[in-house]
Amino acid sequence: MKKNSKGPVQSPTIHNETIKTIYEDEFLIIVDKPSGLPSQQTPDPKRPHLYKLLGEQLKTKDHDYLALHHRLDVGTSGLILLSKSKNHNKSIAELFTERKIQKTYVFIGRFQSKKAENESLLCTEDRWKVDNHLKKLSKPKSHMQIVRSGGDRAITEFEKLNEQDGFLQVLAKPLTGRMHQIRVHALASGCPILGDRLYNKAKPHFDRLLLHAESLKFKHPVSKKEMEVTSERPWDFQKVLKSL
């Protein structure tokens, strides 16, 4: 992967890209979002986004209903679940509103130096949990900040997979669904995610956010079957792992 020493990271240009389907039945569809593609429409009406591209794909199969219940950041790759059934849309939505779905992410981070002698780095542990409150701020850019009062509770569990030369590969399981939650909690743990130009200012810089939504585990809202759907780490993610 090309490393950028200066200037903003440019998201890849995506034109009419076919969205890869990981699982599909008559009620729901789970797809693999590439890094750089927004989950839904942005202020730029000409910019492609997953919801539109997937909707166009489904129309070619004479299916015209699609509902988006959760999103991934533009730079994050991986699994997104959408409803295909208007009659079962509510039960599918409840997977998220009632926290009946377990989402697992993987990211590549780098140890951050301690700011004070008495400050501990959570990421030195094999497993840890961050439980705090996050509040959305609009300036200078839309981002989340840890606050002592107000905001919304955010909880993430972490498991270190391996580490070498100051770099870490980590699993993250968000128990709540706040904007940028894993990114902020990784930073608070002392291992900011590589390629995160909003929360990680340290070099080296990469062309993408190295965060991937790897698995979804849930009980199918119609068949009641226990499901676990996984997504392979994309080539650019694996390339960075090998290079580190």
Nearest C-alpha neighbor of 50 from the set 24, 32, 75:
32
More confident residue, 223 or 204: 223
Contact 112, 194 (CB under 8 A): no
Q: Please list, in sequence order, all residues whose beta carbon lies within 8 angstroms of the beta carbon of residue 233, skipping any fewer than 6 positions away.
A: 106, 212, 214, 241
The full 3-state SS of 213-233, as one line of letters, equals: EEEEEEECCCCCCEEEEECCC
**Which residues are part of the catalytic machinery?**
73
Strand pairing of 77-83 and 211-219? parallel
* Distance from the first to the final alpha carbon of the chain: 11
pTM of the model: 0.89
- Label residue 209 exposed, middle or buried (CB < 10 Å: 0-12, 13-18, 19+): buried
The full 3-state SS of 76-144, as one line of letters, equals: CEEEEEEECCCCCHHHHHHHHHCCCEEEEEEEEEECCCCCCCCCCCHHHCCEEEEEEEEEEECCCCCEE
Q: Please name the residue that has the structure tokens 């990421």.
A: 123
More confident residue, 13 or 106: 106
Measured at the alpha carbon of residue 153, what is the angle toward residues 168 and 159, in degrees to the nearest 5? 20
CATH of domain 11-243: 3.30.2350.10
Q: Please list, in sequence order, all residues whose beta carbon lies within 8 angstroms of the beta carbon of residue 175, skipping any fewer than 6 positions away.
A: 99, 155, 156, 157
Q: Please list, in sequence order, all residues whose beta carbon lies within 8 angstroms of the beta carbon of residue 236, skipping any fewer than 6 positions away.
A: 1, 35, 207, 208
Nearest C-alpha neighbor of 24 from the set 56, 66, 52, 53:
66
Instruction: Note the pLDDT tens digit of each residue in 173-211.
Output: 999 999 999 999 999 999 999 999 999 987 777 889 999
Instruction: Look at residue 139 in the predicted model and tell me its pLDDT.
Output: 78
Instruction: Look at residue 115 in the predicted model and tell me its pLDDT.
Output: 58
CA dihedral 234, 238, 241, 242 (to 10 degrees): -170
pLDDT at 35 over 70: yes
Q: How far apart, in whole angstroms, are the C-alpha atoms of residue 238 and residue 244?
A: 10
pLDDT at 240 over 80: yes
Structure tokens of 102? 């377990």
The helix, strand and coil proportions of the chain, stated in percent and rounded to the nearest 5, come to 15, 35, 50
Q: Residue ranges of the domains in the chain?
A: 11-243
pLDDT at 3 over 70: no
Instruction: Look at residue 177 in the predicted model and tell me its pLDDT.
Output: 93
